[in-house]
C-alpha cells in the first residue's frame, strides 16, 4: 500500500461493515451434538492432509500485559498490591528476587513491581509473552512457548511423529525464544514421543504503515523522517502465506492453560480440524463435479445443490444471477481458502464477534468483526452488536490448498477496506496509526468461513499479569 493510499484512509476513513445480522446458533454458528463431535474427531483422524502446522502469533513485548503494574510502580495501585499479595502464586516467583514482601507496604509493593518489570530483577516488562514463566508444576515451570509445544504433541502430530510450529516473533526477541525452546525441546520430545520442527518467522518491515498527527499530516520523527509502525496482526497474512502445510491451527501465544485442561483443549481442536476437513472435502467434491459437467448440467448442479449448500452451511446468499454467469460466480465462492473458527458464548470477555455481512458484490458471508468496524451511528448495526451471542477467542483451523492440491495465494483474498485507525503515541506525542485488515478479520474476508461453538474452557488468555491467578493457570493443591 503506497503512502498516498494510506493517507487517503486516514483522511477518509474505512467504510463501516454492512451487517445483515449477528451470527447466532439459529443461523451462522453450529452447535454440535455428541454424535457430530465424535464424527468430526474421527474425520480428523482419518482424512488425508498434506501436513499440519501450529501457527502462533507471538510478536511484540508483553508491555500491555503489565500496563497496570507499570502505572503503579512508584505509587502502588490496586493491581500492584494484588500482585504483591499473591506473588507466591505466580510461576515466576523466586524468593531470591522478591523475598517475602508485605502488600501493605508501599515500599515492598514498588519493589515487587520494579523487580518484575525492570533489569533490577526479571526484566519482564521488555520481554515477549512467549518466554515468560506462566505455569508452575510440581517438577517444572513452563513458559507459554513450552505449553504450546505440549499442546502440539497432543493434537498436531503428523503421521511421521513430527509436530510443526510456525511462531511469529520480533527479530530482537529471537535469542530469547531460541533459549526457551532449547531448554525444553529434547526433554519434551522424549516425554511425548514426538519430533518438533519449530520455525521462527518475522513480521515483514515492508508491511509497516505510516503514522499521522491528529490532523492527518505525516508524523515526523526528530530526524525529519516519517514514522512507520508495525501494522497489527493483519500483516501476518504474509507469514501465513509462506506456510507449506495444508492444515493450519491458529492460536495466540497467551491462550494456553495448565495441562489438566489439555483433554478438552485437544478434543475441540480436533473437532475444528475435523469440521474443516469435512468442509474441504464437500467443497472439493462440488468443484470436481463442476469440472466433469457440461454447461446445462453445471447450472442444474448449482441451483439444486450448491446454492443451498452455500446458503445453509456457509450463510452465503448470492444476488439474482443469470444462468450464463451462475457457474463462474458459484465456482468463485467455492474455490477459496477455508477457515473454521471456534466461537465462545458471550461472558464479558474481550474479543471480536461473529456476524453475517453484506459484501460489495451483493452476496452475504460470515465474518469476524471488531467493534471499531461497526458504525455506532447505525441503530440496526448496534442492535446486531447487542444481540450477538458469541465472541471470537482466536481459535481457528485453516485449509490453505485448492482442490488441485495447489497453495492459495492468501493476499488475493484480503479486503483492504477492512482495516481501521487507532490512537497511539510516540515519545509522548499523540498520533493516529493505520492497522491493516486483521489476520482473522479483513485478511480472511474472502475465505469460506464456518463458525462452531466451543466451550469457554478452551479460552484462557493472559491479557494482564493478574490473569495468571485464574484457575486455568494454577495447579490445584
CA distance 422 to 379: 23
pTM of the shown model: 0.94
CA distance 227 to 271: 44
Give 299's DSSP letter. H
Position 349 scores a pLDDT of 61
First to last CA, the chain: 54
CA distance 244 to 49: 12
1 confidence band (pLDDT: 50, 70, 90): confident
SS percent in the chain: helix, strand, coil, step 5? 45, 20, 35
Q: Give the three-state DSSP class for 179.
A: helix
Whether 211 contacts 431, CB under 8 Å? yes
CATH of domain 3-61+130-473: 3.90.550
Whether 336 contacts 449, CB under 8 Å? no
Give yes or no for residue 477 having a pLDDT over 60: no
CA distance 466 to 448: 37
Report, as an integer, the average pLDDT of 213-232.
91
Give yes or no for residue 60 having a pLDDT over 70: yes
Position 148 scores a pLDDT of 98
CA distance 339 to 79: 38
Whether 232 contacts 421, CB under 8 Å? no
Position 350 scores a pLDDT of 55
What element of type H or E holds 357? strand 353-358
- Point out which residues pair with 424 in neighbouring strands: 431
CA distance 156 to 159: 10
CA distance 247 to 394: 16
In the block, cell 487507532 appears at 422
Give yes or no for residue 468 having a pLDDT over 90: yes
Report, as an integer, the average pLDDT of 259-266.
97
Report, as an integer, the average pLDDT of 274-303.
97
Report the chain's mean pLDDT, rounded to a whole number.
94
Residue 36: phi and psi, rounded to 5, are -70, -40
Whether 243 contacts 337, CB under 8 Å? no
Half-sphere exposure (Cβ direction) of 450: Cα atoms closer than 13 Å:
30
Sign of the torsion angle spanned by Cα atoms 6, 8, 9, 14:
negative
In the block, cell 518491515 appears at 205
Report the chain's C-alpha Rg in angstroms. Answer: 24
Position 351 scores a pLDDT of 59
CA distance 319 to 107: 67
Residues 6+ positions from 244 with CB-CB distance below 8 Å = 51, 407
Number of alpha helices (DSSP H) and beta strands (DSSP E) in the chain: 14, 18
Start-end of CATH 3.90.550 domains in the chain? 3-61+130-473
* pLDDT, tens digit, 9 for 90 and up, residues 169-191: 999 999 999 999 999 999 999 99
CA distance 257 to 273: 20
Give 103's DSSP letter. T
Amino acid at each position: 500500500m503506497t503512502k498516498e493510499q494510506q493517507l487517503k484512509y486516514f483522511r477518509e476513513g474505512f467504510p463501516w461493515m454492512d451487517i445483515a445480522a449477528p451470527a447466532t446458533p439459529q443461523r451462522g454458528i453450529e452447535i454440535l451434538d455428541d454424535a457430530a463431535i465424535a464424527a468430526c474427531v474421527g474425520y480428523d483422524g482419518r482424512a488425508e492432509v498434506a501436513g499440519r502446522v501450529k501457527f502462533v502469533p507471538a510478536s511484540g513485548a508483553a508491555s500491555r500485559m503489565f500496563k497496570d503494574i507499570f502505572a503503579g510502580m512508584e505509587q502502588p495501585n490496586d493491581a500492584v498490591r494484588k500482585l504483591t499479595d499473591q506473588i507466591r502464586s505466580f510461576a515466576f516467583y523466586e524468593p531470591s528476587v522478591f523475598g517475602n514482601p508485605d502488600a501493605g507496604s508501599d515500599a515492598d509493593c514498588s519493589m515487587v513491581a520494579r523487580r518484575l518489570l525492570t533489569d533490577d530483577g526479571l526484566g519482564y516488562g521488555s520481554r515477549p509473552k512467549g518466554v515468560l514463566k506462566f505455569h508452575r508444576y510440581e517438577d517444572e515451570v513452563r513458559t507459554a512457548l513450552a505449553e504450546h509445544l505440549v499442546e502440539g504433541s497432543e493434537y498436531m502430530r503428523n503421521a511421521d511423529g513430527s509436530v510443526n510450529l510456525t511462531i511469529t516473533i520480533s527479530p530482537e526477541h529471537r535469542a530469547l525464544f531460541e533459549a526457551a525452546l532449547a531448554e525444553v525441546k529434547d526433554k519434551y520430545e522424549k516425554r511425548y514421543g514426538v519430533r518438533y520442527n519449530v520455525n521462527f518467522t518475522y513480521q515483514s518491515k515492508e508491511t509497516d504503515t505510516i503514522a499521522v498527527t491528529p490532523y492527518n499530516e505525516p508524523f515526523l520523527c526528530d530526524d525529519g523522517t516519517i514514522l512507520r509502525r508495525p501494522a497489527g496482526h493483519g500483516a501476518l497474512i504474509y507469514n501465513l502465506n509462506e506456510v507449506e502445510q495444508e492444515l493450519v491451527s491458529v492460536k495466540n501465544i497467551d491462550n494456553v492453560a495448565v495441562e489438566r485442561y489439555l483433554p478438552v483443549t485437544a478434543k475441540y481442536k480436533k473437532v475444528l480440524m475435523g469440521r474443516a476437513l469435512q468442509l474441504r472435502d464437500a467443497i472439493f467434491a462440488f468443484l470436481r463435479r463442476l469440472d466433469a459437467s457440461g454447461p446445462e448440467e453445471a447450472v442444474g448442479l448449482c441451483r439444486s445443490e450448491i446454492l443451498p449448500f452455500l446458503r445453509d452451511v456457509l450463510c452465503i446468499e448470492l444476488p439474482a444471477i443469470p444462468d450464463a454467469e451462475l457457474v463462474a460466480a458459484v465456482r468463485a465462492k467455492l474455490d477459496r481458502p477455508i477457515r473454521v473458527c471456534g466461537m465462545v458464548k458471550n461472558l464479558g470477555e474481550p474479543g471480536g464477534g461473529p456476524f453475517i455481512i453484506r459484501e460489495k458484490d451483493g452476496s452475504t458471508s460470515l465474518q469476524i468483526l471488531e467493534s471499531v468496524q461497526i458504525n455506532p451511528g447505525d441503530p440496526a448495526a448496534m442492535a446486531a452488536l447487542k444481540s450477538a451471542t458469541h465472541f471470537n477467542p482466536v481459535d481457528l483451523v485453516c485449509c490453505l490448498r485448492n482442490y488441485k492440491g495447489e497453495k492459495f495465494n492468501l493476499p488475493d483474498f484480503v479486503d483492504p477496506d477492512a482495516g481501521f485507525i487507532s490512537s497511539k503515541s510516540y515519545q509522548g506525542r499523540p498520533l493516529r496509526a493505520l492497522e491493516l485488515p486483521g489476520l482473522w478479520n479483513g485478511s480472511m474476508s474472502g475465505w469460506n468461513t464456518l463458525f462452531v461453538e466451543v466451550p469457554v474452557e478452551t479460552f484462557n488468555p493472559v491479557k494482564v499479569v493478574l490473569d495468571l491467578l485464574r484457575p486455568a493457570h494454577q495447579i490445584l493443591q
